[in-house]
Amino acid sequence: MRWPFISRIIGILLVFMGLAMTAPLACSFYFKDMADGGITESIAITMAAGLVLIILSRKFDEDAYINQKEGMTVVALGWTAIGLFGALPFYLSPEFTNFTDAFFESVSGFTTTGSSVMIHIEAAAPSLLFWRSFIQWLGGMGIIVLSLAILPFLGVGGIQLYKAEVPSPVPDKLTPRLSDSAKILWMVYAGMTLIEIIFLLAGGMPLFESICHALTTLPTGGFSPKNASVGHYNSAYFEYVIVVFMLLAGINFSLHYQMLRGKSLAFWRDTECRFFIGLVFICTLVITWDIYGSVYDSLKDAFRYSLFQVASIITTTGFATADYERFPGLSQIILFACMFIGASAGSTGGGMKCARIIICFKYCYKELFKLIHPRSISHVKINNIVIPNHVLQSIMGFLALYMLLFLVSTILLAAMGVDMLTALGAVASCIGNIGPGFGTVGPAENFAHLPVLGKWLLAWCMLLGRLEIYTVIILFVPEFWKK
């Protein structure tokens, strides 16, 4: 393990983070919200820490190939460092009284979870709200991938970083050069963000609020500058626009690239995309039927609120227009299940990912088929491609580990005095990077009242979910540190 090399990359990331903080600083100057002092201090501390790490790691073998251990270590430690230093603008603002809450908000932002401890959101400084949205946008496609796109002077091959960072069972390189792939992903990502801003502005949403909502829709983050989230506007137009972009963000971004290159049937030909859209459609219809008459008297309203909650939760965005805890039990169970399923692999969404769910179902069917026909030879395929055994084993291990960590974290949170429903909802929400949960952390509440240790536990769950479990949990395996 080359610690000078790891230190250098984390230092570069912190320098980049310090530069990114100039965006809320400019926002503070524009709105004259008096928050520039805390942001300036945050920039100075973050830049200084980054430069120190770079200076201390000047001597390392630039020609050596980065191995898988180093790639995972960089990603896990890099995201932790970003969460810590990204908390400074929150901690140095009057809205936060302790570092635990600031760190929770920061990690929730960078991991695009959207769980919040802020109580009076609309009373906060505009620059702080912008930083809150901006870090979700940075975290959406992955700040490590961004660094590969615009900081090619790292001097080493970066495929291990890409594999550890991109939220997909099998990373899909779009071009032979890794930096080109990252640039393509970010161009699509930024372009879709700009288009959403234009659509929201066209509907009459103020510019600042349009930017904040677009910055948190495409990364499927869910932070809103309004206490009531998107429900504040009570506008069907805004809701349908945001639903469209949430669903686009929940689809594999390589398919968007294929569409731009003229492959008009790219979405339809992809098994996972068909499964994802079909699941949204079915869940929406069932919940619409369930809440029509019992919660909403109008079929149009029942469909509208059903579609938004389903799209928001299955894409793990976390915006809210209704308190789904008022829905009947069937609807709540469906939404709870959507928290685990998540969006498509290769999207900015969280959860287990639809690709893994499809492969799991096909694998189970294959095992049942072999019981009936023990001498048969069958394979698990997706998009007519045979899934290798080592990928199957990795996916089965991931799903088992995901549920085990969910169970253990829920027990730990309940041991801290949190009621069972809240513990289940909070852990499912954080490990799936969703935002609101159930119980006292539902869409009408937040996470501010949870115990301090509970917030640190949930922040760890957010990192686990964002980095696909393995990248974080592997650091706790003793064999990982042996030569």
Q: What is the DSSP string of 245-297?
A: HHHHHTS-HHHHHHHHTT-TTHHHH-HHHHHHHHHHHHHHHHHHHHHBTTTBS
pLDDT of residue 172: 62
Residue whose tokens read 């250098």: 8
Listed in sequence order, the residues at least 6 apart from 463 whose beta carbon sits closer than 8 Å to its beta carbon are 76, 79, 80, 83, 107, 111, 472
Residue in this structure with the two tokens 């460092």, named with its chain if needed: 81
Tokens of 117: 């401890």
Alpha helices in 111-177 (DSSP H): 126-141, 143-150, 159-165
414-424 burial, b if ≥16 CB within 10 A, otherwise e? beeebeeebbb
> What is the rounded distance in angstroms from the CA atom of residue 303 to the CA atom of residue 306?
5
DSSP character at residue 345: T
Amino acid at 190: A
Alpha helix locations (H) across 57-142? Answer: 68-86, 88-91, 99-110, 126-141
Nearest C-alpha neighbor of 86 from the set 112, 106, 63, 62: 106
Q: What Å distances lie between residue 330 and 199, 286, 311, CA to CA?
A: 34, 9, 17
Measure the CA–CA gap between 139 and 197, rounded to whole angstroms.
19
Mean pLDDT by 10 residues, the chain (483 residues): 84 93 94 85 96 82 67 87 95 92 96 93 94 94 60 47 55 61 83 96 96 96 94 96 96 87 86 95 97 94 97 95 95 96 89 91 91 86 84 88 96 96 96 94 93 97 89 84 76
| Radius of gyration of the CA atoms of the chain, in A | 22
What DSSP element (H or E) covers 385?
strand 385-386
The H or E element that residue 197 is part of is helix 178-202
Question: At CA 129, angle to CA 187 and CA 15, rounded to 5?
Answer: 60
Predicted local confidence at residue 375, as pLDDT? 85
What pLDDT is attached to residue 177? 62
Is 230 in contact with 126 (CB distance < 8 Å)?
no
Per-residue pLDDT, 155: 45
Closest CA to 462 of 79, 156, 164: 79
In angstroms, how far is CA 249 from the centroid of its own chain? 11
**Contact (CB, 8 A) for 172 and 346:** yes
